[in-house]
Amino acid sequence: MRFDDRPSATLRVAVIGGLLFLHLPILLIFLYAFTTEDKSYEFPPPGLTLRWFAVTWNRPDVWEALELSLKVAAVSSLIALVLGTLCAAAVSRSRFFGRESISLLVILPIALPGIITGISLRSAFNLFDIPFSTLTIILGHATFCVVVVYNNAIARFRRLSGSIIEASMDLGADGFQTFRYVIVPNIATALLAGGMLAFALSFDEVIVTTFTAGQQQTLPIWMLEELVRPRQRPVTNVVAMVVVAVTFMPILGAYYLTAEKVARR
Amino acid sequence: MTAVAAVNSKTHGIWGRISDLMWRKPGLLVATLLSLPILWLGIIYLGSLFTLLLQSFYSIDEFSGMIRREFTLKTYGELLSPANFDIILRTFLMACAVTISAAFIAFPIAYYAARYARGRLKALFYLAVMLPLWSSYLVKIYAWKLILAKEGIVNWLVSELGLSFLLNALLSVPVIGGNSLSVSYVGTYLVLLYVWLPFMILPVQAALERVPTNLIEASRDLGGTQRQTLRIVIIPLAMPGIIAGSIFTFSLTLGDFIVPQIIGTSRRFIGQAVYAHQGTAGNIPLAAAFAVVPIVIMTIYLWVAKRQGALDAL
């Protein structure tokens, strides 16, 4: 939709207002990490300090939560990568009975509210006496991460022309060689982008995790505890800022990986 | 080189034969590819959903507090008790309010990005939506806790501008008001709107990108003003995108139990009811029945959306 007329003043105001609404609250997080105030959320901050970064650095509970979160995110995004790619390959390459149901099945864990996924898994784990552990967290995370990989992979599979696969086969490569030398190089960046987004999704997930975690604390669970019963506000401020900074990286990375490919075509 | 490869594939042994078989029978290839994901999602996800559904037909024994494992609709009946029905109604109305507001705020941004933004600016718009969408859910809620707190930035700004009377007037409105913004429905609404707004912008923008330029030009040529073109041509064509976005905002608001717990009144939403009943109360059947409510609402919603052709815009 191209048009050469000028946007009206009302539109500009609405756009700027909307974008400020989206971004100012997150920027505020960066300010509060430096505040000297440690009892309340006073604005403007009475003074700025770097002290809380050192305090946070020396907190074992924060490190443990971070470690668990990274571990869970790594394993779940790997599982999601395999499952999502297999699904996307099957759905994009052929038409078969129940194809629509497969896409629905993949999307469902994210289309239904997280609390439903969470309580379903919890009641199933309870019913079969599966103890809550890191494993149950991963089971939940991998399930809803599949859709992110699937979406990225299927978009790339659709652009991947079927003729280059046929060409590879005609030139004598078998299915595995075609996969290794033709398909993988073509879909690699999409998979990497999907994997990164799945990682970010898992790293941040709290709703399903509250139902599938036992005594373990992932970083979001740690934050939730602080939100419900604030005990160390300055440490929470710093953790919040670090989480924002850390999650931006995979998002930007995934963006450049997929945008670059589009521009080249 | 090619001749060598062709010969090689014959001598590949078992793997070569598997590969040949897959090529001859594409159905087998699809089945192999799908087996793992289907097993995973089918057993872990659908299996769990099914156990949840099953438990909603059980009931709890009032005297022993034990779950009676026999089929009954009694638990669903409990949903209709005034207290529980209030929870459902409150959640539903909040989801409507959030969805409608999100559509109004999202449309100008999506419209500008689709129609006026080019090159670098377009990429910037995309990132400007993606970053808030992907940044941590809890950090976003935390930011609003800072904003709405009594000593926070809103109260500071309002008193600096001498507008405290306006804020107090808003807070004294019955039902939506409260002692302060962070313990009122207004606060809950603002945070839910903030958290789910980006999910509305992307599908609306995608739908607007697909509006053909010649239809807009035709409308202008036929004497339609900018406003008329927007109302009669552009908005109806963007409707599938708006509905697609509303699926996310609606569904996500229906199931949220963290926002109303941290910022809001003590009156519960569906998510909180589910959480409370499965947790300390140990009333899994009632929790399951409550969880079925969003599933039913979303099924109806998706069915209507599908008839409007909105699912292709996802």
pLDDT higher than threshold 50 for residue A26: yes
The answer to whether residue B17 neighbours chain A at the CB level (below 8 Å) is: no
Return d(Cα A231, Cα A215) in angstroms, integer: 19
Distance CA A186, CA B91 (A): 45
Peptide bond into A44 cis (omega under 30): yes
Residue B269: other Cβ atoms inside 10 A: 26
B159 touches chain A (CB under 8 A): no
Test A32 with B146 for CB contact under 8 angstroms: yes
Cα A146 from Cα A109, distance rounded (Å): 9
The whole-model pTM stands at 0.86
Between B2, B22, B38, which is nearest A171 by CB? B2
B68 φ, ψ (degrees, to nearest 5): -95, 120
In this predicted complex, what is the ipTM? 0.84
Asked if A15 and A28 count as a contact pair (C-beta separation under 8 A), the reply is: no
* Structure tokens belonging to residue B76: 């669903």
Residues A147-188 have pLDDT tens digits of 989 988 988 888 887 788 888 888 888 878 888 888 888 888
Q: Per-residue confidence at B313, pLDDT binned at 50, 70, 90?
A: low
Least CB–CB distance from B51: residue in A12, A102, A124: A124
**A-chain residues near B147 (CB < 8 A):** 25, 28
CA dihedral for B41, B42, B46, B50, sign (positive or negative)? negative
By the 10 Å C-beta count (0-12 exposed, 13-18 middle, 19+ buried), B79 is classed as middle
Size of interface A-B (CB pairs under 8 A): 283
CB < 8 Å to B212, chain A: 1
Beta-bridge partners for B68:
B59
Q: If we measure between CA atoms, which residue out of B275, B37, B199 comes closest to residue A143?
A: B37
The model's pLDDT over B78-95, given as tens digits with 9 standing for 90+, comes to 899 999 999 999 999 999
B287 closest CA partner among B268, B269, B274, B271: B274
Nearest to B139 among A107, A121, A240 (CB): A240
CB contact under 8 A, B138 and A223: yes
Report the percent of chain B where pLDDT is more than 90: 29
Which pair of structure tokens corresponds to residue A149?
Answer: 């990989």
State mean pLDDT over A47-72: 89
What gap in Å lies between CA B254 and CA B282, rounded to an integer? Answer: 22
Q: Delineate the domains of chain A, giving CATH numbers in brackets.
A: 57-264 (1.10.3720.10)
Buried b (16+ CB within 10 A) or exposed e, A84-116: bbbbbbbbbbeeeeeeeebbebbbbbbbbbbbb
